[in-house]
Amino acid sequence: MRIFLCLLLLCPLFAEEELIVHLNSQKILTPLYLTPIQNKGGFEQSYVDLLQQVWNFDFANDGSVQLVSKPENVVSLRSVLTKKNLSITLTNPTTGTVHGIENITLSGNLSEDRKILHRLHDTVFETLFHTPGIADTRILYTVRTKKTDSSSNWETTIWESDYDGANAKLLISNGHLCVTPTFVPALDEKRAEHFLYVSYQVGQPKIYVSSLETGIGTRLSFLKGNQLMPQISPTLDKIAFISDVTGNPDLFVQDFSLEKGLLGKPRQIFCAPSAAQGTPTFSPDGKKIAFVSNKDGTPRIYILDIPKPGTPLQQLQPNMISKKTRNNTCPNWSPDGQKIAYSATTAGVRQIWIYDLLTSEEQQLTEGSGHKENPVWAPNSTHLLFDSATDLFMINLNQKKGIKITSGPGEKRFPSWEPLKQKRSI
Amino acid sequence: MKTTLLCALLTTLLCTSCARSRCELWEDTKTCGRYVNKGMRSLMGQHVDSREYVAYYEQWDEGTAQSELDYVPLTSSDQTQTLAMQEYASSSKESPGDPGSKLPGIDGFTTPSGKLAELFKNIRFNTDSYSITGSETVASLHKIANYLASHPDKYVFVEGHADERGAAAYNLALGSRRANAVRAFLIQNGANPDQLFTISYGVERPLDFAHMEESWQKNRRAQFKIFVR
């Protein structure tokens, strides 16, 4: 009896320990020695120092490299700037290979040169690891600021920036609330050219599409009621969103074409009595949707096979995947199809968790104070962006240290990471 | 003789029990036709809405048939089972602010003032809840429903808000649920669905910016905006 009581008292200790779980690093980081950029004239040293910072950030946070201070027996990258031409040499002592790129002309414009360095990083990364890097990608996000007039209202704008938060460019600013921007993936050979977002400019929130070039939004859906949280399938043939046209926030899908926009009528694919549904995200093959519903009490993450038209409600079998924690929100399906990131309240704080679809395990990725939400995957399925407090943070599964990538006034929220289909040449 | 009598009795019984009015016969024929049509369309892989769903919308406007819905609703496989969505109020004909609408967007609606401010009080909710509770709240909503029923020229936006403690994206859905709960209550108590619209702001428009329970209580609310045509 005493032994039993002792075990009973020890149980909470084990339960406590279960919550503090971290993903194991998927791979060992490769040591790399990055020589300081050798400046042989052409630019001020202060400018070269700025370039060096970009270079350092890319390698220090790419999830596969660990920068080391000594060049002995490790991969090394030597950079020489002759006048305005940059040459790099990558030496791998293990394989005995040497790769070089000569005479990449820099402009002296930091915005432009940052992009060139990002592309160079991705080229080096692909040479080393045979997989595309993510330094030459873009992100979208909203910035919420309080209006300066006497009203207590907020204004939200949509911004685009490089993956590291630099080169921020204002896309949408019409004095109205705008939320949940998301890239529209491009067809095979191109970069994303459009994005979807929700704007309150006619009153109720409606779905708009805009060019990344012009930032001019066009209404995409004329459905009645509130339309929220649009997501486009990676297969580019449908969008999912939440609408209360039925009188309840339910899950809808609608056929989509990059050339013609929305096709046919939106189709209600999930509803539950007195429950709110939210934040849909597609599987990479576009056949499933993960979403939030509070149909069983606290909000949880569910996966639903997108039903064929005419499938009765009783045949829908959403599968609840998040069971360890409460208040689970904002799921985001990784491009490799193996993981779903989401936000979950853990010991009173919203943390980022990851559900592994291969093992059906939930694991906590972040910790510490400050609510973290809206996680989105990078195209490499290793890096994530999320918002916390007033800024965006980047984290990757192999390094697990959140890096703040934005600064300045306003709350930065609802990040979206540009999907990639093909590497780009320098 | 007995056999003749029995035959006559049976014939009389059969003839009278099977007798149907022309109306009934026509209704039966239509029902049969609907099922055959539905079956054929299902075989062809086409979606068919349930009759119950259409009947629900017809209670407000017989002209609002399934063919006029601008979306394809989920259906029930069991004809006797009520669809989950049927507990909610039907959508309004207008979409304020949209092209062709006779009503402006929410910018054309105003915050109730004077006596109307007393009537259209904010409705408060418990944390992560959209239930309408409390005798005062219910009484307040009854008054609003009565007012709208007797003032068909008034149009109301019900705004759904949440406090800052939930995730921003989820709170947009929660705000929608709260606004729709109030709208449904008003319709169930006499307001016309065409007078009522919802908008969800989630956490985007707090009333009180402090980070304490008292402020959060104020921010978990449904709020009203009015337009007079």
Tens of pLDDT, residues B128-158: 899 999 999 999 999 999 999 999 999 999 9
- Same domain (yes/no): B58, B164: no
**Which residues on chain B are in Cβ contact (under 8 Å) with A252?**
71
- Same domain (yes/no): B117, B68: no
Lowest average pLDDT, out of A114-118, A162-166, A322-326, goes to: A322-326
For the cut 70, the answer to whether the pLDDT of residue B52 exceeds it is no
- Same domain (yes/no): B82, B146: no
Asked whether residue B93 is domain-assigned, the answer is no
Half-sphere exposure of residue A266: CA atoms within 13 angstroms, side-chain side: 26
**Which residues on chain A are in Cβ contact (under 8 Å) with B177?**
244, 248-249, 276
Average pLDDT of A295-308? 95
- Which of B58, B87, B116 delimits the end of a domain? B87
Instruction: Please name each of the domains of chain A with its CATH number.
Output: 30-129 (3.40.50.10070), 138-417 (2.120.10.30)
**What does the alpha-carbon distance between residue B184 and residue A362 come to, in Å, rounded to a whole number?**
38
Of chain B, the percentage scoring pLDDT greater than 70 comes to 65
**Which pairs from B114-122 meet CB under 8 Å and 24+ separation?**
B116/B226, B119/B143, B119/B144, B119/B147, B120/B144, B120/B156, B120/B224, B120/B226, B122/B207, B122/B218, B122/B221, B122/B222, B122/B223, B122/B224
Alpha-carbon distance values, B105 to A225, A372, B99, B144 (Å): 12, 34, 10, 21
Question: With a CB-CB cutoff of 8 Å, which residues 265-304 of chain A face chain B?
Answer: 265-274, 276-279, 292, 294, 298-299
Asked whether residue B151 is domain-assigned, the answer is yes
Backbone angles phi, psi at B35, to 5 degrees: -65, -40
Lowest average pLDDT, out of A17-26, A39-48, A369-378, A402-411, goes to: A17-26
Domain at B214, CATH number: 3.30.1330.60
Domain that holds residue B219: 106-228
For the cut 50, the answer to whether the pLDDT of residue B192 exceeds it is yes
- Same domain (yes/no): B151, B115: yes
- Same domain (yes/no): B73, B112: no
The number of distinct structural domains making up chain B is 2
- Same domain (yes/no): B63, B129: no
Asked whether residue B17 is domain-assigned, the answer is no
* Mean pLDDT over the full length of chain A: 90
Q: What is the ipTM of this complex?
A: 0.84
* Mean pLDDT over the full length of chain B: 77
Asked whether residue B3 is domain-assigned, the answer is no
For the cut 60, the answer to whether the pLDDT of residue B27 exceeds it is no
Q: How is residue A244 written in tokens?
A: 């209360």
Asked whether residue B194 is domain-assigned, the answer is yes
- Which of B56, B87, B118 delimits the end of a domain? B87
Interface contact B205-A154, CB threshold 8 A: yes
Q: How is residue B97 written in tokens?
A: 């602010």
User: Which DSSP letter does residue A417 get?
Assistant: E
CA angle A140, A144, A146 (to 5 degrees): 160
Asked whether residue B164 is domain-assigned, the answer is yes
| Residue showing tokens 């109301």 | B156
Looking at residue A49, its pLDDT comes to 96
For the cut 80, the answer to whether the pLDDT of residue B22 exceeds it is no
- Same domain (yes/no): B122, B67: no
**What does the alpha-carbon distance between residue A268 and residue A279 come to, in Å, rounded to a whole number?**
15
**What does the alpha-carbon distance between residue A349 and residue A125 come to, in Å, rounded to a whole number?**
35
For the cut 80, the answer to whether the pLDDT of residue A222 exceeds it is yes
- Same domain (yes/no): B139, B209: yes
Closest Cα of chain B to A371: distance in Å?
A: 9
- Same domain (yes/no): B61, B141: no
Of chain B, the percentage scoring pLDDT greater than 90 comes to 48
| Other CB atoms within 10 A of residue A193 CB | 14
Residue A205 banded pLDDT, cuts 50, 70, 90: very high
DSSP class per residue in A103-128: EEEP-S-HHHHHHHHHHHHHHHHHHH
Looking at residue A366, its pLDDT comes to 96
Asked whether residue B68 is domain-assigned, the answer is yes
Asked whether residue B101 is domain-assigned, the answer is no
Average pLDDT of B161-169? 91
State the pairing for strand pair A217-219/A206-211.
antiparallel
- The residue with greater pLDDT, B142 or B206, is B142
3-state secondary structure of B155: strand
Does A332 contact B at CB distance below 8 Å?
no
- Same domain (yes/no): B169, B218: yes
Looking at residue B10, its pLDDT comes to 61
A255: which strand partners?
A: A238, A263
End-to-end CA distance of chain B: 81
- Same domain (yes/no): B52, B153: no
Of chain A, the percentage scoring pLDDT greater than 90 comes to 77
For the cut 80, the answer to whether the pLDDT of residue B54 exceeds it is no
**Which residues on chain B are in Cβ contact (under 8 Å) with A316?**
74
- Same domain (yes/no): B149, B203: yes
For A36, residues 6+ apart whose C-beta sits below 8 A from its C-beta are A52, A79
- Are the C-beta atoms of A387 and A414 separated by less than 8 Å? yes
